[in-house]
Amino acid sequence: MALGAEAVAREAFGEDVRIAHFEQHHPFSVYPEGHWTRWIDKLRHDRLMWLRRRLAREDVYQKMWAQTQPLEFDLAVACGGPNLVSGAAATPQMRLLMHHFNGAFAFRGTPVLDAAVGSGFPLERIPERLSPEDEAFYKTSTGITRAITVREHDACRLYGTIGVEAPVIPCIAIGSGRFFQRFRDEADRSGTPRDERPIIINFQAKGSNTDWDQGVDPAAWMDLVRGVVADLRADGQRVELLCHSLYERKLARQLAPDLPIHFPQTEEEYGHIIANAKVGFVSRIHAGVALAGIGVPSLVVGNDTRIGTTAEMGLPSYFTKKLDRDTVVAEIRRLVSSADAERERLLALRESVIKRYAEVFATCAENQS
C-alpha cells in the first residue's frame, strides 16, 4: 500500500515531492528518537498489554501529543487504518493507532487522509451495523481525518450507518504497479512468450490467515489446491509458489515440494517474481492487488470481507469454504485465455485509480487550515 500511496503522491504533487514513511504497526514512531515509548514498538503487539491499555487512555494520549515530533507535513496519508473490525474499541493496538498516530498528526496541524480503509468480518457473519462501542470508536477516528475513502462496499455501508461519507475507490495499493512495471517490462523484453510464463500460487493453510471459526478444513483445502496444481500441470502450465512468510514457505513445501518456491525479501525481489506471472491464484489480498497493478489477473480466495477489495477490481473473488476444485481450475483457465484483455483492463484501472486518489490528496492538502 505504501508503494501505491507513493505513486499517488507523485501524481498529485510532482516527482520531486518529499515523502516520509511511518509504520502504522509502530505507532510510537511519531515520537522523537530516544523517547521512552520508542522501545515499545520493538516488542510484539501482545506484550506489555497493561502499558498499552494505559497509553490508549484519553487522559494519557492527549497529554503526550505535545511530546511528539513536530510532524510538519502538508498531508498525512494513513493507508487503510483503523480498518473496520469487531471489537476495535476494546483493542489497545487499534486505539494506539488512532490516537498516538493519526491523532498526533491532527494535533500538529497536519491534515489526515485515511485512504483505502477496508473491513474484516467473517463472510458468514457480516454485521448489519457495528456494536455501540465500536460505532463510538469509529466516529471518533473519522473525526480526526480530513477525508476518508474505502476500498470495498461493506466498509462503505458500515460507515454509512454512523453517518460517515466514505466513497469507494479501488485499493490504493494497485498504484504499486508503477513501481513494479519496470520489472514487467524487463520480462516482456526478455523474449519469453507470455503463454510460457508460470501461474503463481500463494497458499495459506485455510485460504487466509484465519477461517474466523467458519469451519474451513485445512487438510481438505490443501488437497483441493494440490489437485488444482495437478490439473494445471496436466494442461501443460508451469506453476510456481509465492510465499510471504516462513510459515507459508513451510506450507508450500508440504503442498508441492517439487515446484519452484519463492520467498522474496525485498520489493525488488518481489517485483522480479511477479513480473513473470501469467496469472495468479492467491489468498493474500494484496498479492492479488500487486499482480493487478502490472496487469496480471488473479483468482482470489479468502474467508472475510477483505475479498471485496479484489472483487471491486473485477477479479474473481471467492469464499474458500464455498470453492471446489473444478471451479478453481475453470476460473484459472478463463483468466489464462483472457490474460491479454485483462492486462489492458487492469492497467487502465491502475491509472484511473491513481488519478482519482491524486485528486483526493490534492484537495486534502489544499484545504489545510
Average pLDDT over residues 191-214: 93
pLDDT at 191: 83
46-72: pLDDT as tens digits? 899 999 999 999 899 999 999 999 999
Of all residues in the chain, the percent with pLDDT exceeding 70 is: 98
CA distance 285 to 67: 37
Please calculate the CA angle 293-105-47 and round it to the nearest 5 degrees: 80
Instruction: Report the DSSP beta bridge partners of residue 148.
Output: 114
pLDDT at 101: 85
Q: For residue 82, what pLDDT band results from cuts at 50, 70 and 90?
A: low
Q: Is the pLDDT of residue 90 over 80?
A: yes
Query: 340: Cβ–Cβ under 8 A, 6 or more apart, which residues?
Result: 194
pLDDT at 368: 64
Q: For residue 116, what pLDDT band results from cuts at 50, 70 and 90?
A: very high
Of all residues in the chain, the percent with pLDDT exceeding 90 is: 89
129-188: pLDDT as tens digits? 999 999 999 999 999 999 999 999 999 999 999 999 999 999 999 999 999 999 999 999
Q: Is the pLDDT of residue 314 over 60?
A: yes
Residue with grid cell 506484550, as numbered in its chain? 47
Query: 10: Cβ–Cβ under 8 A, 6 or more apart, which residues?
Result: 17
pLDDT at 346: 98
Average pLDDT over residues 269-279: 96
Is there a contact between 22 and 29 (Cβ–Cβ < 8 Å)?
yes
**Surface-to-core class of residue 163, CB atoms within 10 Å of its CB (0-12 exposed, 13-18 middle, 19+ buried):** exposed
Write out the three cell numbers for 283.
Answer: 489468498
Sign of CA dihedral 130, 132, 137, 138: positive
